[in-house]
Amino acid sequence: MEEKRTDISKLGEFGLIEHITQNFPIKNESTIKGIGDDAAVLKYDNKKVLVTTDLLLEGIHFDLTYFPLKHLGYKTAVVNFSDIYAMNGEPKQLTVSIGVSRRFSVEDIEDFYAGVRLACEIYGVDLVGGDTSSSITGLIISATCIGETVDEVYRNTAHDNDLICVSGDLGSAFMGLQILEREKKVFEGDKDFKPEFSGREYLLERYLKPEARKDIIAELKKNNVIPTSMIDISDGLASELMHICKQSNKGCRIYEDKIPIDYQTALQAESCNMSLITAALNGGEDYELLFTVPLGKHDIVEKIPGVKVIGHITDLSLGMAMITRDGEEIALKAQGWNQTKE
């Protein structure tokens, strides 16, 4: 009898980890929420604790040809902090373990951890664990972040007519990656090549040294706004919005002309003949926050610097769509970079 063999390429298509873990029963009192959001939620007496974890692999998630190790350490920490903020929490502790091949020196590892350290200092997080081991090929990074929260915010709690908000601007990290990938190709053909990054520093920084939106969480708190749902944008706006809508059993309408896009992103899209709106909808690694608030909070959120209202939640029956500048309604599809990753 032949054994059944399903190709791993199917993996992203049906969210393998959810599929595999859906019937894991929850046994412990302290477990409030398991797999399926930005972080797990645990409860101890009156304190709620968030746990999120990330596995980053060379050649899959990053390319060391153009990614400085210190930046990579910084980004490793920040993307984990971002998951905690996306639960309306504050990151407090971090563990970072790495596997390194012989290609790396001790100084390389020190560079990497210098980046981790800088991020920890800036965000007020303690490095509490991790280890280094050898690997056969390349760099392997595993990080876990622990945070605290009073009012955690999930993905599955958006309501009809809630406003859909995003922080910052979208598509810029994706454009930064495009520049780096293109320059890498040019570089490979020409040893005397000097990359021209001038005027595009913002795009590169968005990709190589992203920040987590601690400031937005603080502003929301200051204004007494608790989002009804929230997620961070790691796989692209469309993909994350689908998570919120699907898990909340809702539809949505967003407006093309409301989606925040930086000037450099627009210029770059034009110069490399790419669709700007596709970059904003489907480009990943922005690490901005996508959240919903009750309609009545409109005037408050509009005044928070860096927050933009881009649409609203609807009944499930209306589906997910974007209204273009021409007033056309087009269905939203997720085409994130890394669909296997929550």
Q: Which of residues 86-115 bind its own copies (CB under 8 A)?
A: 92-93, 95, 97-102, 104-107, 109-110, 113
* 261 to 40, 74, 112, 173, 265: CA distances (angstroms): 31, 24, 31, 11, 7
**Rg for the chain (alpha carbons), in Å?**
20
Q: Which is nearer to its own copies, 15 or 195 (CB)?
A: 15
Which of the residues 135 through 194 are near its own copies (CB under 8 A)? Answer: 135-138, 140, 142, 144, 146, 148
**Residue 120 within binding range of its own copies, rule CB under 8 A:** yes
Q: Report the run of H or E that residue 245 belongs to, with start and end.
A: helix 237-248
Tell the smallest beta-carbon distance from residue 160 to its own copies (Å).
Answer: 30
Pick one of 1, 2, 5, 327: the residue that binds its own copies (CB under 8 A): 5
Exposed e or buried b for every residue in 268-299, given b needs 16+ CB within 10 A? bbeeeebebbebbbbbbbbbbbbbbbeeebee
Pick one of 65, 70, 85, 127: the residue that binds its own copies (CB under 8 A): 127
Pick one of 63, 65, 129, 263: the residue that binds its own copies (CB under 8 A): 129
Number of shown-chain residues binding its own copies (CB under 8 A):
82
Which of the residues 9 through 68 are near its own copies (CB under 8 A)? Answer: 9-11, 16-17, 20-21, 24, 26-28, 30-31, 33-35, 39-40, 42, 44-47, 49, 51-55, 57-61
Tell the smallest beta-carbon distance from residue 101 to its own copies (Å).
Answer: 8
Tell the smallest beta-carbon distance from residue 69 to its own copies (Å).
Answer: 13
Specify the amino acid at residue 18: E
Pick one of 67, 117, 298, 335: the residue that binds its own copies (CB under 8 A): 117
Q: Which is nearer to its own copies, 6 or 273 (CB)?
A: 6
What is the Cα–Cα distance from 153 to 21, expressed in whole angstroms?
Answer: 22
Tell the smallest beta-carbon distance from residue 50 to its own copies (Å).
Answer: 10
- Can you read off the two tokens belonging to residue 204? 């590169």
**Residue 1 within binding range of its own copies, rule CB under 8 A:** no
Q: Which is nearer to its own copies, 53 or 161 (CB)?
A: 53
Q: Which is nearer to its own copies, 107 or 299 (CB)?
A: 107
Pick one of 156, 157, 278, 338: the residue that binds its own copies (CB under 8 A): 338
- Can you read off the two tokens belonging to residue 47? 């304190």
Cα pseudo-dihedral 51, 57, 63, 69, rounded to 10: 60
What is the Cα–Cα distance from 255 to 34, expressed in whole angstroms?
Answer: 33
Dihedrals phi, psi of 179, to nearest 5 degrees: -60, -50
* 9 to 15, 18, 84, 125: CA distances (angstroms): 11, 16, 29, 36
What is the Cα–Cα distance from 3 to 305, expressed in whole angstroms?
Answer: 57
Q: Which is nearer to its own copies, 35 or 272 (CB)?
A: 35
Cα pseudo-dihedral 181, 172, 82, 305, rounded to 10: 160
Tell the smallest beta-carbon distance from residue 314 to its own copies (Å).
Answer: 29
Q: Which residue has the tokens 């390194």?
A: 100
